[in-house]
Amino acid sequence: MKKFILMTLLMLFVFAPSAFADIALPKPTPTPVSKQTAKKKGVESRMTVRVGEEGSDTTLYLPRSTYKQLRAEFDEADESDMAAIQTNSTNTIIGGSLMSLALIFGGVWFVRSGKFGGKTAAGLLIFALFGAGATVVFANMAPPSSRKISSDMFSSEVQRFGYASGKIRIVVDNSQEAGNVTLVVSKDKPVEPKVSATPNQ
C-alpha cells in the first residue's frame, strides 16, 4: 500500500510539470497605446487580408458570431460570462492533474486485471511516457510561422502572395459613432542588412 502511494506521488510529480506548459512566456515591454484602447476588452479573432477583384470595394466581413460577441460587449455583457467561458490556469492545472491520475489508476487497473500480456502493458507504458514528454515539447513550441498581419505585408516580397492572415483583435470604438474602420497593423523590428564578409583590399 505504501509503495502504491509512493509510486502514485512519484508519477504525479513526473507528469505535473506539463501543466506549467500552459503558463505564457514573459511578455515583452508593452508598446504605448491610448488609454481608451487599453481599457477595451475586445474580441479575439482571426483575420485574413486578401486582394479582391479589380474594381471591387474594400470590404470588412464580420462573422455573425464575432458581431454577436461585440454586441454583447457593447451592451455591457456580464464579465462573469466571459470568465466562465475562458479556462484559467487553475482549471488547467487541476485538469492536468486529474488526467495524470486517470492514467496512473488506469494503468494500475490494467496491470491488475491481468487480461493483457506484459508486452502490451510495456508498450502502453512507453507510449504514455512518450506522450507525456511530447506535451512538454509541444506546449512551448512557437506558433507556426504564417503570413502574419504586420508592416511586412506592404513589402513587395509579400504582396506577390496576394494574401496575409493571422491573429487580430476586433474592438468596438466607443469614441466614434461613425467613421472609418481602421486596421492598425503591428510593426516588426527592421531586419539589419547583412554585411559582406569580403575584406577590403
Partner 1 sequence: MQSVKEIGLSSRSATNLSPFVIVVALFFMTCAAFVIGAFPLTLSIVTIFLFAGVHNFVEFRYFLARMPLRWGNSRTYYSIGIGGVFTLTIIYLSIYFASNNFLYGATNYMIFVGVWNTLFLLWLASLLWLRGRQKPRSDYSFAFPVALFVASFAWFLPQYFALSLVYLHPFVALYFFERQLRRTRPEYVKTFHVCLATLPVFLVILWLILGNSPNIATGDFLSWRITQHAGGEILPFVSNKLLVATHVFLETIHYTIWILLMPLIDKKAVPFRLKNIPLFVHKQGFPRIITAVLLLGIVAIVALWFGFAIDYATTRDVYFALAISHVLAEMPFLIKML
Q: Does 5 bind partner 1 (CB under 8 A)?
A: no
Integer-rounded Cα radius of gyration of the chain: 25
Rounded to a whole number of angstroms, the minimum distance from the CB of residue 74 to partner 1 is 15
Rounded to a whole number of angstroms, the minimum distance from the CB of residue 143 to partner 1 is 20
Q: Does 1 bind partner 1 (CB under 8 A)?
A: no
Nearer to partner 1, 68 or 187 (CB): 68
Q: Does 18 bind partner 1 (CB under 8 A)?
A: no
Hunting for cell 514528454 — which residue is that? 133
CA 98 to chain centre: 22
Nearer to partner 1, 69 or 164 (CB): 69
Judged by CB under 8 A, which of 9, 12, 33, 98 binds partner 1? 98
Q: Report d(CA 97, CA 118) in Å as an integer.
A: 27
Q: Angle at Cα 44 formed by Cα 18 and Cα 20, nearest 5°?
A: 10
Residues of span 34-73 touching partner 1 by CB under 8 A: 65, 68-69
Size of the site for partner 1 (CB under 8 A): 28
> Which stretch, 8-16, 101-109, 128-136, 157-165, contacts partner 1 (CB under 8 A)?
101-109
Q: Does 87 bind partner 1 (CB under 8 A)?
A: yes
Nearer to partner 1, 90 or 180 (CB): 90
> Which stretch, 48-56, 99-107, 128-136, 163-171, contacts partner 1 (CB under 8 A)?
99-107
Q: Contact positions toward partner 1, by CB under 8 A?
A: 65, 68-69, 79-81, 83-85, 87-88, 90-92, 94-99, 101-106, 109, 113
